Structure 1
């Protein structure tokens, strides 16, 4: 019974295991498991008389056989499950990507300098950061950039991306070539690796660099802060530059025209009001004198231009520098270049006439160096719209009105000719332009270039042009040719253009075909080697003469000319010079072309007339004073005539009409605003008259009325 019971028990267990195994095995393993089970059962029947215990010792069990044949199914798992439950595989997540973009107004070869970056930022361009990812497509990138830069939405000619090389300062830009799908996130990640900026440049268009209003959409995402001066909400990146211009405008501007004309009732109550005798409007008592002077002039201008009806719409005309000279284009078709200049200036000033005036102040009681520094500081300010109205104040002098403005502009041009009384390079007088009259070239001093003095000179010339002031005469034709974009190789350079006499003498040795001495040959060789030119030979003498001369006049001052051009491009003078080449001779006159003869001056004078109401002086006295003035003008030198006109009008520009009056007084005086010369009638001889008139006209360098 025990053996039979064991055999039957074993057989029952085997059958149960086989049935359980058949349920778990896959279709491919079921047949193999069944064959193995049947074989074990046959062997068990044949050797059943040995007993269940003996069989288990001689043959392995079915469980062990299954484990050996199918270890992946019957082996107990240790540690992690070998076959976890099936779950959905999550989609791959792309890492966020921050890319710094910089929108340029046009194609550049190098990255913008610090000065240009400020201008671009104020114009809605500059640097912005975009939040993208590696899956960004070209279309998604375009949409994101249009949100960052609203001006980019107007570009229809396409754009490209550029990256800069390593280093500091202005660096060379390299093109980031798009692939067949455009600019994608992966391409941007590779190009901007290392925190590099990506520069966007339009291909066929040029964006405006005019400063945008602080409320423009281009600044809507920038954090803002309130200016304590004007209480305006200013974007934080622009606040520093805004404070600079805000301080300049408000310093000493108690008599600001805009504040006075605003008609604010609260301000009117706080100040004593007085009626202007010219326009019959009410103004504060402290301001009435200054207003009356300018009001008389503006009234005359209104009468003069009342018959002219301007029908042209004001349109922006971008200049070659990227800055926009917003002037109407009617002056382009005017045949007379002088009238074209006048129309261009009038149109430009009319556009900016409602803006806050610029304030130029100088204390005439200070030293000449301090006075010159006041002028230089005014024209060194960045991002100034020079077409704004100009208010000039001469501290220490009672003069007001347009004559003071003429005095300032005349002084600026005179300083460009004679030099500034500032010790820039171990010299009491620093000259920006050197050479003979009619052959002036920029100074080769690197210190002046690093100090941006030629940028100041360009702004002075353009500002004087805007207000009808004097021009800088006597420029070398070769410098003017290169200044306007001509090649140095095509410029007409002469030995007189070389300001350094020693260098001029050395170069002059190569002129002609005479044989050089040993000493002269050494001098030429030393100069050629100093400027990296080849040695003198019999075949290259003429070539070396031309190259040395061009380098002496143009090559050494290339940076100076570029800086001067930058200053001119900030004003519409550059637009006039490039659009109307026939105005070059007027704006850069040669030596002596801007001078006038005694005959021309006498023809423009309105002499005193007999007036029955004038009881101060008789007709004989008026005729005698007029005769003394005629005699002085007829015998005066060119310098004396120029100083007389400056004393008479405020600058050396001869107006269409000059007035002479005989009055009570001690010395001759002038009303520069109304271009009137007042001569006392007490002179009995010409010698005393000439002595006083000379003393007066030479005082125009130190202000008004200081004899």
Structure 2
């Protein structure tokens, strides 16, 4: 007896068998009617629906046997992986570690040296070894790198941009790591050696680095050169050709290149006749440029200044011609004494501009210190000023006039640079442009001060005071001075005391030595290194990382400040002296800033000890004994005073802290010490009978120089 669940399957099989044997077209319903009596079912399905349902069920239950394909069911083979996709990557090999992307002029030099930018076709699953092998094929000089290398990427924008480190994985760089870091290989990937510098001299034309580069023949020598080398070769080839010509042959060749014989002479005569004189500056020039020149020539015209300062825009024609006729004497270049050389140069610059309009600076001594300092900064923020012109200063609220007031002005300027300005900028009660320990001052890293161009103001102040013989800024770090005056950051001697931030200093000092770092110390150094795009500390790079961190903390973070200060020095016309004479110091060392008694005593002109019976001696004059006594008091005060007291004395005496060789002492009948700063005269009362009273009154008087210029 058949199972109920198999009835439908059996009937379907029988029906298919009958169709195959008899070829009958009777449907399953007819066959069922012949063999079985008609039975009543609750629900009857159409035979086609029944077969579809059975086929679906069998296919679902036994997919290997019941499928749409015919013949034997073959075992599905394992599908092979698709070939790796090859992606173009822009690679740039640097000769050394850069902070920013190379400039256009540097890029040409790098490419001529076999470095620079190239396109590498990299598989998307390439490993570190495969990347290195491909780089060695592209860059033959890549094989010369010793001491490690890292990859960097640049931020968006135009021009020179900051380079950011691409950190490697545990197994080094791979294609997936680089693709993720560069957002799908967008931009350029820079390769930088860590502990060496590759040679940037141009390679010969037959170098294998130029194998894929298009070549063209030189029209002069007929030799094929790569396009990069061809640009330089054209000038060299022309120079060599001209150098080989001598005597008459050279003259004939030059004549043939320009024009033909008589036609050349005719054109020269025509050009000579086409000369005209500028109606403004009275200069002769070619007629084809006279109109353009006249539209820009200022001559003796002056544009009125909209500010409260008198600003000369141009020289007069007479002054300009006189300056050209009497060029600067080269004596300052060959003078062995650096101080005399600086004096010769500054006096020559001032002499050339003595006919220009004077710079007028007015300062109200009745205002508070904050408003006075704002006036100083506002004066030096003016653009278009010729700082070598004469300077006139006026103290409103003070009867003082003359050169002493100007000296007081320059003394105040340098003092504010040394100790800070009395106004609030950047949430500080006192704005200091230089920070750090005495002798290790560096420009502040405040972004607010940089964007306000205050370091450009500082450069103008330093150069202006130096140009007019005033005080010099003291105590600046020698590493900063080295880079500021054109030296390289790599050759600067940076000391740990030059780092003004004590937290950063202590972190960097952890790498000084060979003691093993704890986990906390390692994390502190690692955090600082990654913040400045440098690799983490290891045993191999410990010393190198210490130097890099220290250099960046002192110099790298202050390159924009130094650029502004350098620009200010150039505007004050002292830059040629600093470049030509490296021995001239515009910044004083901290130990050179102190004033000693011997330095001051050799500059003093003491009163003459004339006889009391001298006919020229008036009744009002002091006696010989008074002059001797007061002179001894002053000498004793100078010999026992501190350096700061001596500076206050000189400032009270002259108007600034710079001693001069004609400082005159006079003993007079008065109540308090006085000074005539314009004439370098110090007047001391004759009534003092003991040294203590003399010292107290003198200290009280010289302490007032901060509120005036010294004329009491």
Question: Is the contact between residue 397 and residue 704 of structure 1 (CA under 8 Å) also seen in structure 2?
Answer: no
Question: Is the contact between residue 664 and residue 680 of structure 1 (CA under 8 Å) also seen in structure 2?
Answer: yes
Residue 455 of structure 2 corresponds to 454
Deviates more, 1:486-495 or 1:608-617: 608-617
TM-score (norm 1): 0.56
- Partner of 1:670, secondary structure, is strand
Question: Is the contact between residue 676 and residue 710 of structure 2 (CA under 8 Å) also seen in structure 1?
Answer: no
1:248 aligns to 2:309 (yes or no): yes
Question: Is the contact between residue 702 and residue 710 of structure 2 (CA under 8 Å) also seen in structure 1?
Answer: no
1:543 aligns to 2:544 (yes or no): yes
Distance 1:215 1:168 in 2: 44
**Residue from 669, 688, 696 that aligns with 1:664:** 669
1:530 aligns to 2:534 (yes or no): no
Residue 655 of structure 1 corresponds to 660
1:105-144, Cα deviation, whole Å (9 max, x unpaired): xxx979xxxxxxxxxxxxxxxxxxxxxxxxxxxxxxxxxx
Residue 688 of structure 2 corresponds to 683
1:503 aligns to 2:512 (yes or no): no
> 1:168 Cα shift?
9.6
> 1:316 Cα shift?
9.6
Q: How does 1:61-72 map to 2 (within 5 A)?
A: none
Deviates more, 1:629-638 or 1:330-339: 330-339
> 1:169 Cα shift?
11
- Partner of 2:437, secondary structure, is coil
1:636 aligns to 2:641 (yes or no): yes
- Partner of 2:423, secondary structure, is coil
Q: CA RMSD in A?
A: 3.5
Q: Which runs of 5+ in 2 are unaligned?
A: 1-101, 105-155, 162-216, 218-238, 240-278, 284-289, 317-321
Residue 620 of structure 1 corresponds to 625
- Partner of 1:506, secondary structure, is helix
> 1:541 Cα shift?
1.2
Question: Is the contact between residue 432 and residue 454 of structure 1 (CA under 8 Å) also seen in structure 2?
Answer: yes
Q: How many residues align?
A: 428
Residue 102 of structure 1 corresponds to none
Residue 699 of structure 2 corresponds to 694
Residue 442 of structure 2 corresponds to 441
Q: 1:683 to 1:437 in 2, by over 3 A?
A: same
Q: Which runs of 5+ in 1 are unaligned?
A: 1-107, 111-165, 172-179, 181-203, 205-211, 226-231, 235-241, 252-257, 259-312, 318-325
- Partner of 2:394, secondary structure, is strand
Distance 2:158 2:503 in 1: 39
Residue 561 of structure 2 corresponds to 560
Q: 1:479 to 1:167 in 2, by over 3 A?
A: closer
> 1:248 Cα shift?
2.3
> 1:467 Cα shift?
0.8
Residue 597 of structure 1 corresponds to 596
- Partner of 2:576, secondary structure, is helix
1:407-455, Cα deviation, whole Å (9 max, x unpaired): 1111111111001111011112111111111111111111111111111
Residue 408 of structure 1 corresponds to 409
Distance 1:218 1:437 in 2: 57
Question: Is the contact between residue 607 and residue 660 of structure 1 (CA under 8 Å) also seen in structure 2?
Answer: yes
Q: 1:504 to 1:603 in 2, by over 3 A?
A: same
Q: 1:330 to 1:621 in 2, by over 3 A?
A: closer
> 1:219 Cα shift?
6.5
Distance 1:696 1:504 in 2: 43
> 1:224 Cα shift?
12
Question: Is the contact between residue 460 and residue 572 of structure 2 (CA under 8 Å) also seen in structure 1?
Answer: yes
Q: 1:377 to 1:654 in 2, by over 3 A?
A: same
Q: 1:504 to 1:367 in 2, by over 3 A?
A: same
Distance 1:428 1:599 in 2: 38
Q: 1:233 to 1:331 in 2, by over 3 A?
A: closer
Residue 190 of structure 1 corresponds to none
- Partner of 1:533, secondary structure, is coil
Q: 1:218 to 1:522 in 2, by over 3 A?
A: farther
> 1:336 Cα shift?
2.0
- Partner of 2:679, secondary structure, is coil
Distance 2:517 2:293 in 1: 73
Q: 1:593 to 1:659 in 2, by over 3 A?
A: same
1:501-539, Cα deviation, whole Å (9 max, x unpaired): 111111111100011222222221221122222112222
Q: 1:464 to 1:706 in 2, by over 3 A?
A: closer
- Partner of 1:661, secondary structure, is strand
Question: Is the contact between residue 413 and residue 461 of structure 2 (CA under 8 Å) also seen in structure 1?
Answer: yes
1:347 aligns to 2:379 (yes or no): no
- Partner of 2:678, secondary structure, is coil
1:363-394, Cα deviation, whole Å (9 max, x unpaired): 11111011111111111111111111111111
Distance 2:533 2:593 in 1: 40
1:637-675, Cα deviation, whole Å (9 max, x unpaired): 111011111111111111112211111222111111111
Runs of 4 or more consecutive aligned structure 1 residues displaced over 6 Å after TM superposition: 166-171, 212-216, 218-221
Distance 1:639 1:445 in 2: 30
> 1:328 Cα shift?
3.5
> 1:218 Cα shift?
6.6
Q: How does 1:252-331 map to 2 (within 5 A)?
A: 314-315=323-324, 327-331=328-332
Distance 1:466 1:218 in 2: 38
Distance 1:487 1:558 in 2: 11
> 1:335 Cα shift?
2.2
1:33-91, Cα deviation, whole Å (9 max, x unpaired): xxxxxxxxxxxxxxxxxxxxxxxxxxxxxxxxxxxxxxxxxxxxxxxxxxxxxxxxxxx
Q: 1:109 to 1:377 in 2, by over 3 A?
A: farther
Distance 2:425 2:280 in 1: 39
1:600-619, Cα deviation, whole Å (9 max, x unpaired): 32232222223441433211
TM-score (norm 2): 0.56
Q: 1:570 to 1:218 in 2, by over 3 A?
A: farther
Question: Is the contact between residue 314 and residue 328 of structure 1 (CA under 8 Å) also seen in structure 2?
Answer: no
Residue 419 of structure 1 corresponds to 420
Residue 570 of structure 2 corresponds to 569
> 1:330 Cα shift?
3.2
Q: 1:224 to 1:532 in 2, by over 3 A?
A: closer
Q: 1:170 to 1:547 in 2, by over 3 A?
A: closer
